[in-house]
Structure 1
């Protein structure tokens, strides 16, 4: 993460939450969606997830039924056993991890189930899709712990969408 924009990004993200909220609220949806693929790619040229791992260390994806089936099969476990061993139901009725950091995260920040990871993990941090606008509270939260989300929001501010 050797980029001036990313220097001290967590403090800058905290300081810019109100600006991000305003940006997302007033943004031209079509301009944002057009800009996202390139900004997403640029962000991941600068951000190495294996050097960070914040998403896996402090937050849980939702585990949908297809995720549970796929991961259970991969781990050679019964679905019920997988749920009992790793998951709980959150206050929104979704299956999430019982603990953080993620049980499947290694000390090297590699995921032991990467090939079959939950769809939320595969899609995270949603910087190349309309979730960034449709679920604004989630985007704001993600910008506080994911340098890629911070980067994309800062770039959107720069281009004035």
Structure 2
């Protein structure tokens, strides 16, 4: 997958995408939630995340206490050891990876802790959520990182044109 190609397309269309998503916020179509879920499913029939894994290479998830407990338990590590080994606290007080790419990303672009991965990873890129217009800034940011998000916004624009 040509991640750089999608990134350039997303950067070129950023203004258009911002305007489009802003219009959804002003006057959301009645069927928006149903449509976003439908388009999300279509996009992920086309896109194989394991051919990309750009999110795992460039975005670090925020770790909840539940994430830390679940992952450390599955790895048979003490909480403190897991945190000392993998995490740091950022300027906002959030627990994040010490370094990227994700230490659990295998050379085959598969997640070594997929079944217990953080909530933020399970929900990314957030294109299947209700009221998508509530996360416009995040969606715009994700179009640059995630080819699936770029395609999602493009398909949504087409359907609502």
Please give the TM-score of this superposition, normalised by the length of structure 2.
0.90
Deviations 1:88-128 (A, max 9, x none): 11222211111110000001001110010001111111110
Q: How far did 1:21 drift?
A: 1.1
What is the match of residue 19 of structure 1? 16
**Hey, what's the Cα distance between the residues in 2 that align with 1:134 and 1:121?**
19
Cα RMSD, aligned residues only = 2.0
Q: Is residue 2:72 matched to residue 1:72?
A: yes
**Hey, what's the Cα distance between the residues in 2 that align with 1:82 and 1:29?**
45
What does 1:100-115 correspond to in 2, within 5 Å? Answer: 100-115=100-115
What is the match of residue 95 of structure 1? 95
C-alpha spacing 1:132/1:98, structure 2 compared with 1 (3 Å): farther
Deviations 1:12-66 (A, max 9, x none): 1111111111111111164331211110111111111010000000110111010
C-alpha spacing 1:93/1:7, structure 2 compared with 1 (3 Å): closer
CA contact (8 A) 1:62 1:96 kept: yes
What does 1:108-123 correspond to in 2, within 5 Å? Answer: 108-123=108-123
CA contact (8 A) 2:104 2:111 kept: yes
Q: Which segment is superposed worse, 82-91 or 23-32?
A: 23-32
What does 1:1-150 correspond to in 2, within 5 Å? Answer: 8-27=5-24, 28=28, 30-130=30-130, 132-150=132-150
**Hey, what's the Cα distance between the residues in 2 that align with 1:91 and 1:141?**
20
**Hey, what's the Cα distance between the residues in 2 that align with 1:147 and 1:99?**
23
C-alpha spacing 1:120/1:7, structure 2 compared with 1 (3 Å): closer
Number of matched pairs = 158
**Hey, what's the Cα distance between the residues in 2 that align with 1:132 and 1:84?**
36
**Hey, what's the Cα distance between the residues in 1 that align with 2:131 and 2:14?**
17
